[in-house]
Structure 1
Amino acid sequence: MKTFKIAALLATVALPGAAFATELEVTHWWTSGGESAAVAELAKAFDASGDKWVDGAIAGGGDTARPVMISRITGGDPMGATQFNHGQQALELVQAGLMLDLTDVAEANNWKGVINPPSLLDSCTVDGKVYCAPLNIHSPEWLWLNNKVYTDLGLAVPTNWNEFVATAPQVEAAGKIPLALGRQPWQSNLAFGALTIGVGGLDLWKSINIDKNMDAAAGPDMLKVFQAAADARKLAAKSTVQDWNQATNMVITGEAAGQIMGDWAQGEFQVAGKVAGTDYTCLPGMGLNAYISTGGDAFYFPKLADPEKEAAQKRLAALLVSPEVQVAFNLKKGSLPIRGDIDMSTANDCMKKGLEILAGGNIVPAGDQVWSPDVQTQLGDMQGQFWSTDMSPEDAQARYVEILKSGL
Structure 2
Amino acid sequence: MIWEDIMKTVAKALLGAVSMLAVTVAAPAMAEPKAEVLHYWTSGGEAKAVQALQEAFKARGGTWVDAPVAGGGGDAQAAVLRARVLAGDPPAAVQIKGPNIQEWAEAGALGDLNAVAEAQNWDKVLPETIQNIVKYDGQYVAVPVNVHRVDWIWANPEVLAKVGADVPTTWDEFNETAEKLKAAGIIPLAHGGQPWQDATVFETVVLGVGGIDFYQKALVDLDMEALGSDTMVKVFDQMRKMRGYVDPDFPGRDWNLATAMVMRGEAAMQIMGDWAKGEFAAAGLEPGKDYICASTPSDGGYLLNSDSFAMFNVSGDDNVEGQALLAELILGTDFQETFNLYKGSIPARTDVPRGEFDACAIKSMDDMVSAAEGGTLMGSMAHEIAQAGAIRGAFIDVVTAHFNSDMSSTEATEKLVKSIKLAM
Normalising TM by the smaller chain, what interval? 0.7 to 0.9
The verdict on how the C-alpha distance between 1:239 and 1:134 changes in structure 2, with shifts beyond 3 A counting, is same
Q: 2:226 aligns with which of 216, 232, 236?
A: 216
The verdict on how the C-alpha distance between 1:73 and 1:387 changes in structure 2, with shifts beyond 3 A counting, is farther
Q: What's the % identity of the aligned pairs?
A: 34
Instruction: Report the alpha carbon displacement of residue 110 of structure 1 after superposing the two structures with TM.
Output: 2.2
Q: 1:158 aligns with which of 159, 167, 185?
A: 167
Moved more, 323-332 or 253-262: 253-262
Instruction: Report the alpha carbon displacement of residue 229 of structure 1 after superposing the two structures with TM.
Output: 0.8
Contact conserved, 1:276 with 1:349, CA < 8 A, in 2? yes
Task: Count the aligned residue pairs.
Answer: 390
Q: What is the aligned partner in structure 2 of residue 84 from structure 1?
A: 96
> Normalized against structure 2, the TM-score is what?
0.81
Q: What is the aligned partner in structure 1 of residue 16 from structure 2?
A: none
In the alignment, does 2:314 pair up with 1:340?
A: no
Contact conserved, 2:145 with 2:336, CA < 8 A, in 1? yes
Q: 2:404 aligns with which of 374, 385, 388?
A: 388
Q: What is the aligned partner in structure 1 of residue 68 from structure 2?
A: 56
> Normalized against structure 1, the TM-score is what?
0.84
In the alignment, does 2:374 pair up with 1:365?
A: no
Contact conserved, 2:30 with 2:317, CA < 8 A, in 1? no
| C-alpha distance in structure 2 between counterparts of 1:57 and 1:372, whole Å | 20
Q: 1:192 aligns with which of 199, 202, 226?
A: 202
Counterpart amino acid of residue 199 in structure 2: N
Instruction: Report the alpha carbon displacement of residue 274 of structure 1 after superposing the two structures with TM.
Output: 1.7
Counterpart amino acid of residue 354 in structure 2: M
| C-alpha distance in structure 1 between counterparts of 2:395 and 2:205, whole Å | 15
Counterpart amino acid of residue 278 in structure 1: K
Secondary structure, aligned partner of 1:82: strand
Structure 1: tracts of 5 or more residues without a match: 1-12
| C-alpha distance in structure 1 between counterparts of 2:305 and 2:216, whole Å | 15
Secondary structure, aligned partner of 1:138: strand
Q: What is the aligned partner in structure 2 of residue 398 from structure 1?
A: 414
Instruction: Report the alpha carbon displacement of residue 332 of structure 1 after superposing the two structures with TM.
Output: 2.9
Q: Spell out the pairing of 1:87-98 with structure 2 (5 A cutoff).
A: 87-98=98-109
Q: Spell out the pairing of 1:203-282 with structure 2 (5 A cutoff).
A: 203-209=213-219, 212-236=222-246, 237-282=248-293
Contact conserved, 1:27 with 1:69, CA < 8 A, in 2? no
Per-residue displacement from partner, 1:237-266 (whole Å, max 9, x unpaired)? 432444333332332333332221112222
Instruction: Report the alpha carbon displacement of residue 399 of structure 1 after superposing the two structures with TM.
Output: 1.7
Q: What is the aligned partner in structure 2 of residue 100 from structure 1?
A: 111
Per-residue displacement from partner, 1:75-108 (whole Å, max 9, x unpaired)? 44533322222x3113332222222222222223
In the alignment, does 2:178 pair up with 1:168?
A: yes
Moved more, 136-145 or 156-165: 156-165
Instruction: Report the alpha carbon displacement of residue 132 of structure 1 after superposing the two structures with TM.
Output: 0.4
| C-alpha distance in structure 1 between counterparts of 2:137 and 2:203, whole Å | 30
In the alignment, does 2:338 pair up with 1:328?
A: yes
Moved more, 248-257 or 272-281: 248-257
Instruction: Report the alpha carbon displacement of residue 157 of structure 1 after superposing the two structures with TM.
Output: 3.3
| C-alpha distance in structure 1 between counterparts of 2:266 and 2:47, whole Å | 24
Contact conserved, 2:350 with 2:365, CA < 8 A, in 1? no
Counterpart amino acid of residue 109 in structure 1: Q
Instruction: Report the alpha carbon displacement of residue 169 of structure 1 after superposing the two structures with TM.
Output: 4.4
The verdict on how the C-alpha distance between 1:344 and 1:18 changes in structure 2, with shifts beyond 3 A counting, is farther
Counterpart amino acid of residue 366 in structure 2: E
Per-residue displacement from partner, 1:326-354 (whole Å, max 9, x unpaired)? 11222332323222222113322212222
CA RMSD in angstroms comes to 2.9
In the alignment, does 2:351 pair up with 1:351?
A: no
Contact conserved, 2:181 with 2:188, CA < 8 A, in 1? yes
Counterpart amino acid of residue 24 in structure 1: E
Contact conserved, 1:27 with 1:79, CA < 8 A, in 2? no
Q: What is the aligned partner in structure 1 of residue 12 from structure 2?
A: none
Contact conserved, 1:295 with 1:365, CA < 8 A, in 2? no
The verdict on how the C-alpha distance between 1:91 and 1:259 changes in structure 2, with shifts beyond 3 A counting, is same
Q: What is the aligned partner in structure 1 of residue 390 from structure 2?
A: 374
| C-alpha distance in structure 2 between counterparts of 1:252 and 1:76, whole Å | 48
Secondary structure, aligned partner of 2:148: coil
Contact conserved, 1:120 with 1:294, CA < 8 A, in 2? no
Contact conserved, 1:139 with 1:262, CA < 8 A, in 2? yes
| C-alpha distance in structure 1 between counterparts of 2:242 and 2:75, whole Å | 23
Secondary structure, aligned partner of 1:264: helix
| C-alpha distance in structure 1 between counterparts of 2:416 and 2:77, whole Å | 26
Per-residue displacement from partner, 1:174-208 (whole Å, max 9, x unpaired)? 66533222333222111100011122222322343
In the alignment, does 2:40 pair up with 1:24?
A: no
Instruction: Report the alpha carbon displacement of residue 31 of structure 1 after superposing the two structures with TM.
Output: 4.9
Secondary structure, aligned partner of 2:274: coil
Q: What is the aligned partner in structure 1 of residue 9 from structure 2?
A: none
